[in-house]
Amino acid sequence: MNTNSDPFYFAYGSNLNSDDWQQFCQERGFSIDVLEPVAPTWLPDYRPIYHYYSSGRNGGALDVIQSLGQVTPGMLFRVRSDGWAALDTKEGAPNYYERRDVTVLNAAGEMIPAITYCVVAEKRQDEFVPPADEYVELVTAGLLAWNLPTTVHTQAAQNESLTFLVQHVFAYGLLQSEYDLGQSLTNIGQRQPARIRGQIFDLGNYPGWLPSAGVNDWVDGELLTLKQPDFSLARIDRIEGFDEYSSDALYHRVLVTATTDSGETVLAWCYRYARAIHSQPLKNGRWQPQ
């Protein structure tokens, strides 16, 4: 997705709001067009939280922390000219927020390296820091402008338990109910037939899935609706050999759009094969063991 060596920027809070960003740039002498929108994306296994007091915002300001199974919606931007200088200034980096390398996901199974900003450890408080209504409205307006869900941000602003925005896993291999490994997961949740775009490869004792832009490339499988997403994902991650988005992993947990037999589409986790595949994809879109 990125054609040059410059990293993308992932925004999840006030910088989603174009009016707020442009006002800051004009006041500080930065160009207002240094951020070029690329696509909505999701920060996996992170959740929004208010544990930092911002005097400029007269209350809590957003941060994100690691949380298995949660996803933080946001926007991916290409940074132009002195955009990083503008972002560092607005975020108070490195004294208040600091840059962090992350991997963000889109709904097509792609992983994109990016940089986001997180509150430095010394500025985090142990308790909830209520945000001002004006700040919450600003963030909400920014999310809505990019057609992003507001649920977890609203819950974080009210210090409520967060909903899991992704509550499904798409299984295309041994995690399906017809296999012993899949049957060991019977208490995880409900199942139904579904399909996703992509290509599936026979790797011998197990399959591998990769995304594809081909209009006729579909993979059939099962959609698992998880009762306890965090607990279930920890278990499935271990089975699939996923620890983090690194070259050492066997599979990477990514996001896909799954379509059920009734035509409903949902956002689901899927395990993408993380290593090179030198075989041809299966033509019928379904794997069966030899």
pLDDT digits 0-9 by tens, 58-98: 999 999 999 999 999 999 999 999 999 999 999 999 999 99
User: For residue 18, what pLDDT is reported?
Assistant: 97
Q: Among the listed ranges 23-32, 100-109, 239-248, which one has the minimum average pLDDT value? A: 239-248
Instruction: Check whether 164 has a pLDDT greater than 60.
Output: yes
* pLDDT band with cut points at 50, 70 and 90 for residue 5: low
Compute the distance between CA of residue 11 and CA of residue 32 in angstroms, rounded to an integer: 16
Instruction: Check whether 247 has a pLDDT greater than 90.
Output: no
pLDDT > 70 in the chain, percent: 98
Residue 143: DSSP 8-state: H
Q: Tell me, which fold does domain 168-273 have in CATH?
A: Hypothetical upf0131 protein ytfp (3.10.490)
Q: Are strands 207-210 and 111-119 parallel, antiparallel or unpaired?
A: unpaired
Structure-token pair, residue 100? 């962090």
Rounded mean pLDDT, 166-183: 94
CA 202-204-206 angle, 5° bins? 75
Q: Considering the chain, what is the average pLDDT of its residues? A: 95
User: For residue 3, what pLDDT is reported?
Assistant: 45
Structure-token pair, residue 65? 């922390």
pLDDT > 90 in the chain, percent: 92
Which residues have C-beta within 8 Å of that of residue 210, sequence separation ≥ 6? 109, 198, 199, 201, 272, 273, 277, 281
Instruction: Check whether 1 has a pLDDT greater than 80.
Output: no
In the chain, the DSSP E strands lie at: 8-11, 35-49, 53-54, 59-60, 63-79, 97-105, 111-119, 168-171, 189-197, 199-202, 207-210, 218-226, 251-260, 265-273
Q: Which residues pair with 79 in a beta bridge?
A: 35
- Could you tell me the residue ranges of all domains in the chain? 8-157, 168-273
User: For residue 66, what pLDDT is reported?
Assistant: 97
Compute the distance between CA of residue 62 and CA of residue 49 in angstroms, rounded to an integer: 6
Instruction: Check whether 4 has a pLDDT greater than 90.
Output: no
| 44: helix, strand or coil | strand
Q: Tell me, which fold does domain 8-157 have in CATH?
A: Hypothetical upf0131 protein ytfp (3.10.490)
User: For residue 287, what pLDDT is reported?
Assistant: 92
Rounded mean pLDDT, 7-31: 97
- Examine domains 8-157 and 168-273 and report if their fold is the same: yes
User: For residue 185, what pLDDT is reported?
Assistant: 86
Instruction: Check whether 52 has a pLDDT greater than 70.
Output: yes
Rounded mean pLDDT, 260-282: 95
Instruction: Check whether 271 has a pLDDT greater than 90.
Output: yes
User: For residue 49, what pLDDT is reported?
Assistant: 98
pTM of the entire predicted model = 0.95
Rounded mean pLDDT, 10-25: 97
pLDDT tens-digit readout, 194-207: 999 999 999 999 99
Structure-token pair, residue 240? 């699939």
Q: Are 87 and 63 a contacting pair, CB within 8 Å? A: no
User: For residue 6, what pLDDT is reported?
Assistant: 81
Nearest partner of 239 among 269, 194, 282, judged by Cα: 269
The backbone torsions φ and ψ at residue 143, rounded to the nearest 5 degrees and listed phi first, read -60, -45
